[in-house]
Structure formats: C-alpha cells, structure tokens
Structure 1
Amino acid sequence: MGIKSFMGKRAEPEKPAEAPILVKDYMTENLVTFRENENIMDVMEKLIKHGISGGCVVNEKMELLGIISEGDCMKQISDSRYYNMPMSDLTVGKRMHTNVETIDGNMNVLDAAKKFIEMKFRRFPIIEEGKLVGQISQRDVLRAALKLKSHNWYY
C-alpha cells in the first residue's frame, strides 16, 4: 500500500477576468465630417484647422458615402496645376474614395490593430444601423495599447 495524500487537487490561482478592450471604447465620436458637394479648398482648410489627415463624407442622414484625405487633396493640387484647372470648381464627390472599409465597434482593439497593419489605412469608420457613429484611427489604437501596457496582451 502506498501513501495517500488528503490534500486534494490544488486549484490554479484565479486570474481576474479582463473585459476585452473594444473599438467603441476608443473610437472618436465627435467627428469632423464632409459633404459630397463641399469644395476641396474648404476641405483643406478644415483639415488644417482641426489637425486631421482626412475624414468621412456623409449625407444629411449621417450615412457614410466615402472618405476624403489630405492625399486626395494633394492629388487635386497636382492635377490642377498640371492640367491648368481651377480648384474652385472641384468638390469632395469628385475626389473622395467610395470603396470604404469599416470596422465593427465591438471588435477587440488588438484585432483592429492587425487590420490596420494588413490594410494600411489610417482610419476606419464605425457604422451602426446604417449611420456613421464614430471612427477609429491608428492613434486611438495606440492610446488603447498604452492603457493595456500593465495587462496581459493576450486574450
């Protein structure tokens, strides 16, 4: 007969359950948006005034139509000079990108970081029930990462 231990099985120490860090917790909700018929010169002024590199183009119902960026404006400046065309006639609708990738507000921020790397975008709009409700940028993901630095990175 062998020796029997009556200690029983030792339980692993419990790790506190951590809630996932979601995109909607870090997205920007107070957005600078643009309209399809807005002049490119006005867009450039807003980009500079607000210190942003681009923004969402929406209609009066806040439905996403596209994205316009400072790169789009730069292309317009170059084209206008090359083709000797006035910029005063050019609208957002003629320069915006309409094939826009969005992100689910309930996505984990770390998964969003991977999508930023794969897609090479600076921002992703967040849509709920067909309406623009926010936007997450690479900077927003970095803010979330700083908050996570004392936690476990793996979920």
Structure 2
Amino acid sequence: MGIKNFMGKREESSSIERQKFQVKDFMTRKLITFSPDQGITSVMDTLLKQRITGGPVVDASDNLVGIISDTDLMHVISDSRYHNMPVGNRLVSEFMSSQSATIDQEADIFDAASRFLKTGHRRFPVTKDGKLIGQISRMDVIIAATQLKGDEWR
C-alpha cells in the first residue's frame, strides 16, 4: 500500500517574485526642511511643534547641504553659554552637519537597518542627482518589518 500525498501541486519558489521592501516604498516624501541661513531659534520652534529630532538642510534648489539635529542644537546651547552669546543670532549653517550620509532609494530595508546600527544615525536622507527626494527613519524601517511575511526575512 503506497502513501498518498493529499497536498496540491506547489508552485516553484523561483517562479514567485518576492515583494521587495525598498527604502523608496517606506521613506517619507513630505519633509520638514531647513535652510542654511535660517535662524536656530526658528529650527528649535519647528522641532518642538512637529515633535521631530532633526531634519535635512537644503539650498534654494533643493540640493541637500546638511542635517540639523537635536544634538547640533545641544552644541548651540552649550556654545552660547560659554561665549555668552544669544542663541537667536545663530544660523543653521554654523551648526549643521554638512557631511550627511545618504541612502539609495533602491536599497532594501535590511540594508537600511544595518546602516542604522553601524552609524547610530536616526535618519538618512534619500537623494537623486543631489536633490532631496525623501528621508527614511528608524521607525520607517520598523514599520516595513511589521509588513514582512515569514518567507521574506532573507
């Protein structure tokens, strides 16, 4: 007496195209941005009102020129006290991080998670030909991970 298989025909795994979880599918496109000649107090107000910890700095042509973060603002506050200078007179360009690391929109969320772990960054701007097109945060990667099915964790 032979063993019968009651399972239906299975599709070959090579014929099934797995859904890609790329940065471009989870990045934020509507961003709060800052300009290099913007006053620091204006940035502080925006960060508080929007409940964010930083954002990209762009020039008049939307080219990414840096990042301003709450850590940069701690330098502003500390520096202002040390030099007895009011915070309000300071500009973003004086304190922003100009060496901003970016991530490619085609990168997958696993690469993004790895980069977040290696660098300690909270966000990565996404650019195309030098122009800012979006930003991905740690939370965006977590959101993407919650949408993965068991067989996509490879």
- Tell me whether the two structures share a fold, i.e. TM-score over 0.5: yes
Deviations 1:64-117 (A, max 9, x none): 000000111111111111221111210000000011110000001111110111
Q: How high is the TM-score relative to the length of structure 1? A: 0.88
- Residue of structure 2 equivalent to 1:52: 52
Gaps of 5+ in 1: 1-10
Deviations 1:93-152 (A, max 9, x none): 000001111000000111111011111111110001221000000010000011115443
For residue 73 of structure 1, give the secondary structure of its aligned residue in structure 2.
helix
1:99-118 map, 5 Å: 99-118=99-118
- Structure 1 or 2, whichever has the larger Rg, is 1
For residue 147 of structure 2, give the secondary structure of its aligned residue in structure 1.
helix
Amino acid at match of 1:138: R
- Residue of structure 2 equivalent to 1:92: 92
Amino acid at match of 1:53: T
The percentage of counterpart residues that share the same residue type is 43
> How many residues end up aligned between the 2 structures?
144
Amino acid at match of 2:47: L
Does the aligned pair in 1 maintain the 2:34–2:43 contact within 8 Å?
yes
Q: How high is the TM-score relative to the length of structure 2? A: 0.88
Out of 12, 15, 26, which is 1:14 matched to? 12
Point out 4+ residue stretches in structure 1 off by more than 6 angstroms.
Answer: none
- Residue of structure 2 equivalent to 1:33: 33
Q: Cα RMSD (Å) of the superposition?
A: 1.5
Distance (whole Å) between structure 1 residues aligned to residue 10 and residue 28 of structure 2: 40
Does the aligned pair in 1 maintain the 2:18–2:152 contact within 8 Å?
no
